[in-house]
Structure 1
Amino acid sequence: MRMPRTLTSRARAGTSAAVVTMLLGTAIGTSGGTATAAEATKGKDNVVLQWNQTTYDALVKKAAEVNGLQRPPLGSRSLAIVHTCMYDAWSAYDARAVGTQLGDDLRQPYHKRTLANRKTAINYAAYDALNYLYPEFKSDFDAKMMALGMDPANTSRDTRTSAGVAHTACDAVIADRRTDGSNQENAFADTTGYTAFNPPQDLAALDKSTVLDPVRWTPLSTNGVVPPFVTPQWGGMKPFAIKDPAAFQPPPPPAYGSAKLKADIKTMMDYNANLTDRRKVVSEYWLENRETPAGHQNKWAQYISRRDHNTLDEDVKMFFTLNLAMADAGIVAWKSKVRYDYARPITVIRYSRSGHQVSGYAGRGKGTQTIAGETWLPYVTTPPFASYVSGHAMWGGTAAESLKLWTGSDKFGASFTAKAGSSVYEPGLTPASDVTLKWDTLSQAATEDGMSRVYGGGHWTFDVVEGQKLGRTVAKTAFGAAMKYINGTA
């Protein structure tokens, strides 16, 4: 059964509240449907939204500790754990839903399924999850709890109380994730022994004579510092919703010298030599270095929640379905990256054009000039891991499909305006005047997210195309799995 979000929309045009709550599986008196509907009209973010924002803030704060660069998959795992803990605690107060770890073992009696108890359970569950993920920010989470009227010192596991339900539910989620293969306990260090096939290349220029295979990933050295491949173990991590990440792998990328790769090299070089302010804004807007792509796409869900006046129950489920899919998308993407170990445009283009003069972006504020092929430079920084498939494209496609399935519509409507001179890469210069990005549909947002990596020079077009296909497939599978939990059939 697909969640009938479109039924909710029709109901707001005239169907009675009792019918709406019945259709949503939250009949009045069993899950507090009328209370949550009233809450959604107050104009105040419910606690699901508030904890989602708190998680986002933690991602950004963590990025500040590592010079502004997050390892992309970490955000998707964090958000999935937080929202799984919230969902599992909330499910104890629903008539049908079952938890991901304890099933219906925590199911509370009819008279305890109140809005107040659901809020309390959600608060303690999110608090526990965030303290597991970011213990260094405990004081922030304590302050949030106290602002919500909760006692952070309440550690009771008595499941006759909502705090006890939450702690017990989240304990089970955390126990499951401690051995998921991410290696959180050792700062997510590589557990695979990955070694790059090609020796490092200096970022300033490529030495073609030392390249062993032009389409294998090559580390880039800056002032003698060589960042390692980011989290190569991620593709082997335990999924959240899908069964086997290996079942979602893309076809092989093109070989060196193939017509497909030659065409893509030309496409990339054409974009690079003809960068417009709009393309630069798109490249920078979608970088998502601090909040990670999953953090950015959770902002889409926040926008939709406020746009549609979601209830507490609706947001528990929407963010749960979204973030199971996003976490699994990261696992599938990294499995592909390690499996194919495919080179980034910066090394392939430099290799193919070495010894030739080319037209290309000459550096910050320098525009397009004639440059040596072995020094070809993308507009944005190239991250230290393989290219195929694009994580941005995959997460964007996953989010668009998951939210489309949930709402029953591709409608979006969000926008962003980059002020003149606001560029991080070319401050004071780019854009020359304000540039507004607007996405009428979720699909448009996902497409632009993927293309941003092509404009910026970090990904091939086939990275993007295959990544978005995979993302939508993962989203559909994860959505089906999430709905089984929500409908109590898991």
Structure 2
Amino acid sequence: MKRRDFLRISAISGTAAALPGCGGSDNNTSSVAEAPQPKVVVLWNTAALAAVRDAKPGPPMVARSLAVIHTAIYDAWAAYDAVAVGTRLRGALRRPEAERTAANKVKAMSQAAYAACLNQFPAQKAIFDKAMSQLGFSVSASFDPAQPEGIGNLAAQAVIDFRRGDGSNQDGSLTASGTPYADYTGYAPMNPSTVFTGTTPMSSFPAPDHWQPLTFTDGAGVTRTPGFIAPHWRHVVPFAMTSSSQFRPGPPAALNTPAFTAQAQQIVDMLINLTEKQKCIAEYWADGPNSELPPGHWNLFAQVISERDKHDNDKDVRLFFALTNAVFDAGIATWECKRFYDYVRPISAIRYLFNSQTIKGYGAGGPPAGLVDISGSGWRPFQRDTFPTPPFAEYTSGHSAFSAAGAEVLRSFTGSDAFGHSATIPARSLIADSSLPTAPVTLSWATFTEAMEEAGMSRLYGGIHFADGNNAGKDIGKKTGAQAFAKARRYWEGTA
């Protein structure tokens, strides 16, 4: 059982009973008693995350897709609320009070979710067809606002139309290749690629403080040299930020300074002294291929809160709307910073700084073979050989930003930092070293802050990020999270 299985929550049925509201209107349904309605927001979130695992997009694309889907769901829901306004059509879709039933909201939200999911993940259509079938609904082509299915399509289409020109290049129209999400800014790395399993000569570092591509063999046995994922992401229109650079931090440690050497030495020393628990933390939070990736991780945590606090659809739609847009903005701010500084990853910095030295580290056998004396030119992080380091610049940490934004929204929405969740890593289940842990390890988080802090530190334990990248990423996430939550709340309170 892999890490993502510890948290995955199946969509469950629940009632649509009114719950107190986080600022939204809770007196918006018909007074006529209604049959219990399924928790459709959780169901569609589960479907969206399944599509993410299957499609394997990059982290910022995942954040955007989840925001598009949950914004479409929110906009459809808002049409049946007494005060909330949609993000695109404002109050133009608002239905009369007699139509504001839980059943109509479920149909509208489901149709909006289906349309948005299909737009974001067309190759995963079977997943979304199954979700509609589970709900007993047929896919509708109606745009009639008198029908809930029509409201769903109208809401989703407005969001899709807006996001079509948001700078993400989802449809590939901005490049000759037509490849979805392809870069159209002409980015090129300043360093040549280096082979992960080999050594890197000094001649391969014309720009030692800049990002360097890695060549490695992936899980399918294919040798790959991935390019920088989404270097154009700074041009994507955010949800709440005034610009992609609004929260850009100051620069990272400069080349040929004591701080530059010290941060690399810290990672070398840290990996030599990793405990089993720290290795579990590194892998639990890695969120690499075949997972829901870092942005989706916090959607899983939101499902935990939905179950813990017995949310109905009205509360779920607001929570996921705020959460996904906060994480979306965190991704834009982070990738703007990654492109602006184009900063070196630990693997390259360490191979450059300790190139001719003998140090302790993982040799040709990787983590399973243990620590040995190696040439600094061949240093490896504590990662699986099939995905050694994410293909984009180090500064700042996306994990830290996504997690801080997610924690900020969950704190704000629930009114408390209390989380009370845990995950157990089974014995001998780590991908990087299948002999570990020697006994089950339970990771627990009393608060959202603890989970956020551990997520950030996991990237240092894994040899992926420096401390400054973690700290700056957390700062970005806290700021984008607070700003996005405030804007989302204005939408559902009708004051946006």
Please, what TM-score do these two structures have when normalized by structure 1?
A: 0.90
Is the deviation greater in 453-462 or in 249-258? Answer: 249-258
Query: Quick one: structure 1 residues 99 and 419, their matched pair in 2 at CA, closer, same or farther if it must change by over 3 Å?
Result: same
Aligned partner of 2:322: which letter?
A: T
Query: Quick one: structure 1 residues 212 and 281, their matched pair in 2 at CA, closer, same or farther if it must change by over 3 Å?
Result: same
Shift in Å, 1:25: 4.1
Match of 1:398 in 2: 405
Is 1:407 aligned with 2:393? Answer: no
Q: What does 1:267-278 correspond to in 2, within 5 Å?
A: 267-278=266-277
Is 1:219 aligned with 2:218? Answer: no
Which 5+ residue runs of structure 2 have no aligned equivalent?
1-16, 173-179, 218-222
Aligned partner of 1:246: which letter?
A: S
Shift in Å, 1:106: 0.3
Identity %: 40
- 2:377 aligned to 374, 387, 409, which one? 374
Q: What does 1:262-301 correspond to in 2, within 5 Å?
A: 262-289=261-288, 290-301=291-302
Aligned partner of 1:445: which letter?
A: A
Query: Quick one: structure 1 residues 25 and 327, their matched pair in 2 at CA, closer, same or farther if it must change by over 3 Å?
Result: closer
Aligned partner of 2:205: which letter?
A: V
Are the counterparts in 1 of residues 25 and 84 from structure 2 also a CA contact under 8 Å? no
Q: What does 1:4-403 correspond to in 2, within 5 Å?
A: 24-28=23-27, 30-31=28-29, 46-63=39-56, 70-152=57-139, 154-186=140-172, 187-203=180-196, 204-222=198-216, 225-289=224-288, 290-362=291-363, 363-380=366-383, 381-403=388-410
Are the counterparts in 1 of residues 338 and 393 from structure 2 also a CA contact under 8 Å? yes
Query: Quick one: structure 1 residues 369 and 73, their matched pair in 2 at CA, closer, same or farther if it must change by over 3 Å?
Result: same
Query: Quick one: structure 1 residues 227 and 35, their matched pair in 2 at CA, closer, same or farther if it must change by over 3 Å?
Result: farther
Query: Quick one: structure 1 residues 34 and 440, their matched pair in 2 at CA, closer, same or farther if it must change by over 3 Å?
Result: farther
Aligned partner of 1:449: which letter?
A: A
Match of 1:471 in 2: 477
Aligned partner of 2:438: which letter?
A: A
Q: Distance in 1 between matches of 2:299 and 2:438?
A: 30
Shift in Å, 1:32: 5.3
Q: Distance in 1 between matches of 2:183 and 2:411?
A: 35
Q: Distance in 2 between matches of 1:250 and 1:173?
A: 31
Match of 1:12 in 2: none
Aligned partner of 1:158: which letter?
A: D
Deviations 1:60-118 (A, max 9, x none): 1213xxxxxx4111111111011000000000000100000000000100101111111
From the two aligned structures, give the one with the greater helix fraction: 1
Query: Quick one: structure 1 residues 308 and 23, their matched pair in 2 at CA, closer, same or farther if it must change by over 3 Å?
Result: closer
Aligned partner of 1:123: which letter?
A: S
Are the counterparts in 1 of residues 132 and 138 from structure 2 also a CA contact under 8 Å? yes
- 1:462 aligned to 465, 468, 481, which one? 468
Report the 3-state secondary structure (helix = DSSP H, G, I; strand = E; otherwise coil) of the residue aligned with 2:421.
Answer: strand
Give the aligned CA root-mean-square deviation in angstroms: 1.9
- 2:457 aligned to 429, 447, 451, which one? 451
Report the 3-state secondary structure (helix = DSSP H, G, I; strand = E; otherwise coil) of the residue aligned with 2:305.
Answer: helix
Aligned partner of 1:288: which letter?
A: D
Q: What is the total number of aligned residue pairs between the two structures?
A: 459
Q: Distance in 2 between matches of 1:150 and 1:307?
A: 28
Query: Quick one: structure 1 residues 339 and 281, their matched pair in 2 at CA, closer, same or farther if it must change by over 3 Å?
Result: same
Q: Distance in 1 between matches of 2:38 and 2:21?
A: 24
Deviations 1:201-236 (A, max 9, x none): 222111112311211111122377421111111121
Query: Quick one: structure 1 residues 23 and 411, their matched pair in 2 at CA, closer, same or farther if it must change by over 3 Å?
Result: closer
Shift in Å, 1:365: 1.0
Aligned partner of 2:382: which letter?
A: Y
Q: Distance in 2 between matches of 1:452 and 1:345?
A: 14
Q: Distance in 1 between matches of 2:21 and 2:267?
A: 53
Match of 1:3 in 2: none
Are the counterparts in 2 of residues 26 and 33 from structure 1 also a CA contact under 8 Å? no
Report the 3-state secondary structure (helix = DSSP H, G, I; strand = E; otherwise coil) of the residue aligned with 2:245.
Answer: helix
Q: Distance in 2 between matches of 1:226 and 1:419?
A: 32
Query: Quick one: structure 1 residues 196 and 25, their matched pair in 2 at CA, closer, same or farther if it must change by over 3 Å?
Result: closer
Q: Distance in 1 between matches of 2:83 and 2:317?
A: 14
Match of 2:444 in 1: 438
Please, what TM-score do these two structures have when normalized by structure 2?
A: 0.89
Q: Distance in 2 between matches of 1:32 and 1:407?
A: 26
Q: Distance in 2 between matches of 1:283 and 1:177?
A: 34
Deviations 1:158-213 (A, max 9, x none): 10111111101111000011111111112211111100111222221111123112
Q: Distance in 2 between matches of 1:215 and 1:469?
A: 22
